[in-house]
């Protein structure tokens, strides 16, 4: 095969390398979605567990980049190395599923032996997560330094780095959107990972083809010169740039935490909302990086430009949430335009809100990164890959620190408004540090930034809206906010409506209230299994809400109730509902544990007579973990002999109603249906109710003062038995951890018919015995 001339290589090499890097970024984001979700099923979705897994993921990227920077590769060797990396990523991805299975068993076995120490548990989670993620994520982190070597050392370093970074991020956007809207609901997690592995294989093969067509030396691009401009990139300036971008990594991830937490109030915490917000972050970064690439072809004062952009980031990020109220004015224009390109109407406000609040800051972050990278590698083109590796690694380390600090410290201590100001201030400081390096070469610019920057920041800080006040004013303008908690896990608020009803909201979604219908429903979820079980002593309630469900269960004589609630702020908010939860938090027979309920079931050795739950709606992000077959199997494992589980079936569409019921029946085939067709009582053996035993229990005055339900009440509540339920749902798919389709409701049939349960009826006498 003939080798093209160096001039010909100039025309095709960079576009082909960009194609490789696009595919690599595409696969990487699919893996991120798959692995982070899979590990959340093992470790739980508490902020401690999620932060641990994310830290393990990003630490691998940093380590891989740092190690790859030490390699000394010519162009052809770089393509071979890149191909090997992509093949290895695909191979380790195929091994991830059995590794997660092994890790689940190891964690389940180890959990009961650990003392109740959050620090120790976090360390164990980090070690296990790192064991699974360190190899593939380190390989992913190595790709950028290796591809820098693959394009050779030449004067167009800045434009090349900018284009590579933008293209990789564009691939990540495609991967995030495809995974979030198509792959996970249609293929499931495992097969989505297989698809990503196929992309890795294709990229590797293309890299080997390219390797065969290039010479061992760098392509000649000197015809389009690029210089560093008027900046003197000395060692002190390089160090300042490097630490400014460690701070930039901190800021970018901290901003994501704030944006996602605040915008979930307006957009609702669904899988689609988080996908669109992530795409807006990545889209801004990619577009910003692409936009700045052409400007590297001419000499410019890049240090002054970078200092100015950092100031702009500080100010734009500071006021980013001030743009959310504009959505109502912009939506009528943007929405129909989105509809013309086939975007579902449900997604319109998600896109509009994300574009207004997230995209401007992300554009600036995307423009700043290649400029900083250009300055850091400007005087060492032959050692570019080593410099790129160090720069990227420190930026990722900053991102780890930012996500951890925002979630664990800043939001609980300062709230979303205070966190936004604090994080933006970090970027202002980096701008001033860069301006300080300009005093010798551009004193006018340095003076302007040093004076105008702080003044503008102070003025902006005084005008930053309180995101929660804006949310309450726009969506609950007639309510009086009684209490607000912006904690580690979620934003919880308690409102009093005009008619006097108290309502609890979690991330803007209704969770509980003290109206009579809601009170009766939640009391029934707690009390019904206590009535149906002949002698319930140990009781587990997953989720707390306003506390009415566990409170009802705790009122029964002799019952010891364990409550597992994900958020400490929900626990604090439940104190406002003491009048309907029977002062749950002060009862001596109640033990509260702030933890992930599913994770508790995975690790506990305790057996329970009754397990019930106060759950979220099945279309919420992450809700499948409490409705899937694998969750019900964990519940079954925790049941004592003769135990009963009560499952709320919270779906108004026939497809999801039957899907969840069919899944529950697959684990508890001896299920009876009660109440308003929404309460499934599952047992391990065929259930029968003893009329005489119930009457004997009712003779206890302590029993009667709680819920004095006699046989007539239970007859009225009974709906159907296991044969009728099995006939109603028929054969079909089950809801699984691998394919959480209830969360991806846009993939369901349109229109999804409303629930029709008129024919679902059984005979109460079939379960009755003397």
DSSP state at residue 513: E
**CA 214/CA 414 separation, integer angstroms:** 55
**CA 425/CA 720 separation, integer angstroms:** 61
By three-state DSSP, how is residue 743 classified? coil
Provide the token pair at 743.
Answer: 């969360």
**CA 39/CA 62 separation, integer angstroms:** 20
- The answer to whether 609 and 578 are in contact (CB under 8 A) is no
Provide the token pair at 463.
Answer: 């005008």
Place of tokens 């504009």: 326
> What is the reported pLDDT for 3?
43
**CA 11/CA 369 separation, integer angstroms:** 25
By three-state DSSP, how is residue 720 classified? strand
Q: Which of 574, 586, 529 is nearest to 548 (CA)?
A: 574
**CA 406/CA 427 separation, integer angstroms:** 15
- Report residue 504: phi and psi, to 5°: -105, 130
**CA 742/CA 141 separation, integer angstroms:** 34
Q: Which of 507, 580, 515, 513 is nearest to 550 (CA)?
A: 580
Could you tell me which residues are beta bridge partners of residue 538? Answer: 560
Q: Which of 623, 696, 636 is nearest to 671 (CA)?
A: 636
Does residue 604 have a cis bond before it (omega within 30 degrees)? no
> What is the reported pLDDT for 501?
95
> What is the reported pLDDT for 284?
94
Who contacts 48 (Cβ-Cβ below 8 Å, separation ≥6)?
A: 118, 121, 122, 125, 488
By three-state DSSP, how is residue 311 classified? helix
Distances (CA, A) of 504 to 414, 574, 616: 22, 8, 13
Which tens digit of pLDDT belongs to each residue from 443-492?
888 899 999 999 999 999 999 998 888 888 777 888 899 998 887 778 89
Please give the biggest Cα pair distance in the chain. 97
Who contacts 26 (Cβ-Cβ below 8 Å, separation ≥6)?
A: 171, 172, 174, 175, 178, 196, 199
DSSP state at residue 406: I
> What is the reported pLDDT for 234?
83
pTM of the model: 0.89
**CA 551/CA 491 separation, integer angstroms:** 23
- Report residue 644: phi and psi, to 5°: -135, 140
The residues of the chain scoring below 70 in pLDDT are: 1-11, 46-49, 117-118, 150-158, 215-232, 379-383, 704-706, 749-752
By three-state DSSP, how is residue 303 classified? helix
């Amino acid at each position: 095969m003939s080798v093209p001339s160096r001039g010909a290589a100039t025309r095709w090499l960079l576009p082909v390398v960009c194609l490789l890097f696009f595919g690599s970024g595409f696969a990487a984001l699919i893996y991120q979605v798959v692995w982070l979700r899979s590990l959340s099923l093992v470790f739980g979705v508490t902020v401690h567990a999620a932060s641990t897994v994310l830290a393990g993921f990003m630490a691998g990227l940093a380590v891989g980049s740092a190690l790859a920077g030490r390699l000394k590769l010519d162009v052809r060797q770089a393509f071979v190395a890149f191909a090997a990396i992509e093949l290895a990523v695909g191979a380790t991805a195929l091994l991830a599923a059995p590794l997660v299975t092994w890790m689940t068993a190891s964690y389940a076995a180890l959990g009961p032996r650990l003392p109740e120490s959050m620090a120790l548990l976090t360390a164990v989670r980090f070690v296990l997560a790192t064991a699974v993620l360190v190899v593939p994520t380190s390989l992913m982190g190595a790709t950028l330094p290796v591809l820098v070597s693959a394009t050779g050392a030449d004067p167009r370093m800045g434009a090349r780095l900018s284009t590579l970074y933008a293209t990789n991020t564009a691939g990540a956007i495609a991967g995030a959107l495809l995974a979030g809207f198509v792959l996970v609901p249609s293929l499931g997690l495992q097969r989505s990972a297989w698809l990503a592995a196929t992309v890795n294989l294709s990229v590797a093969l293309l890299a080997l083809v390219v390797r065969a067509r290039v010479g061992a030396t760098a392509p000649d691009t000197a015809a389009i010169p690029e210089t560093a401009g008027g900046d003197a990139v000395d060692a002190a300036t390089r160090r300042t740039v490097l630490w400014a971008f460690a701070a930039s990594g901190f800021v970018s991830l901290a901003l994501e935490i704030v944006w996602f937490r605040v915008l979930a109030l307006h957009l609702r915490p669904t899988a689609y909302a988080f996908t669109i917000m992530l795409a807006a972050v990545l889209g801004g970064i990619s577009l910003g990086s692409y936009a700045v690439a052409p400007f590297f072809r001419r000499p410019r004062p890049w240090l002054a430009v970078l200092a100015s952009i950092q100031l702009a980031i500080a100010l734009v990020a500071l006021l980013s949430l001030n743009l959310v109220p504009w959505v109502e004015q912009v939506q009528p224009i943007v929405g129909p335009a989105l509809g013309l390109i086939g975007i579902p109407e449900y997604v319109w406000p998600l896109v509009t809100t994300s574009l207004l609040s997230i995209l401007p800051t992300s554009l600036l972050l995307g423009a700043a990164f290649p400029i900083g990278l250009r300055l850091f590698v400007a005087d060492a083109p032959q050692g570019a890959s080593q410099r790129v590796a160090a720069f990227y690694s420190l930026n990722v380390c900053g991102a780890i620190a930012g996500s951890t600090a925002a979630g664990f410290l800043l939001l609980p201590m300062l709230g979303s408004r205070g966190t936004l100001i604090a994080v933006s201030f970090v970027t202002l400081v980096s701008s001033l540090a860069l301006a300080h390096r300009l005093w010798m070469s551009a004193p006018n610019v340095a003076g302007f930034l040093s004076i105008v920057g702080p003044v503008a920041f102070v003025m902006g800080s005084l005008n930053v809206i309180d995101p929660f006040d804006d949310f309450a004013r726009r969506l609950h303008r007639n309510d009086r906010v009684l209490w607000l908690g912006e904690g580690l896990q979620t934003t919880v608020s308690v409102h009093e409506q005009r008619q006097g009803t108290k309502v609890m909201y979690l991330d803007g979604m209704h969770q509980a209230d003290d109206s009579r219908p809601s009170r009766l429903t939640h009391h029934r979820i707690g009390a019904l299994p206590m009535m149906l079980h002949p002698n319930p002593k140990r009781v587990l309630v997953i989720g707390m809400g306003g506390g009415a469900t566990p409170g009802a269960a705790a009122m029964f004589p002799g019952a010891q109730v364990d409550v597992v609630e994900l958020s400490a702020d929900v626990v604090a908010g439940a104190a406002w509902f003491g009048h309907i939860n029977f002062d749950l938090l002060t009862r001596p027979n109640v033990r509260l544990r702030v933890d992930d309920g599913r994770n508790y079931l995975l690790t506990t050795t305790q057996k329970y007579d009754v397990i019930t739950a106060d759950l979220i709606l099945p279309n919420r992000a992450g809700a499948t973990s409490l409705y899937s077959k694998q969750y019900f199997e964990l519940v079954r494992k925790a049941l004592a002999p003769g135990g009963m589980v009560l499952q709320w079936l919270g779906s108004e569409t026939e497809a999801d109603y039957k899907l969840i019921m069919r899944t529950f029946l697959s684990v508890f085939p001896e299920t009876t249906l009660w109440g308003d067709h929404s309460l499934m009582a599952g047992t391990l053996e065929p259930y029968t109710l003893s009329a005489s035993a119930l009457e004997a229990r009712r003779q206890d005055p302590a029993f009667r003062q709680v819920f004095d339900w006699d046989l007539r009440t239970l007859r009225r509540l009974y709906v159907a038995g296991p044969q009728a339920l099995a006939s109603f749902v028929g054969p079909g798919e089950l809801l699984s951890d691998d394919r959480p389709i209830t969360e991806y409701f846009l993939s369901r049939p349109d229109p999804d018919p409303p629930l029709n349960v008129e024919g679902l009826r059984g005979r109460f006498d079939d379960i009755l015995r003397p």
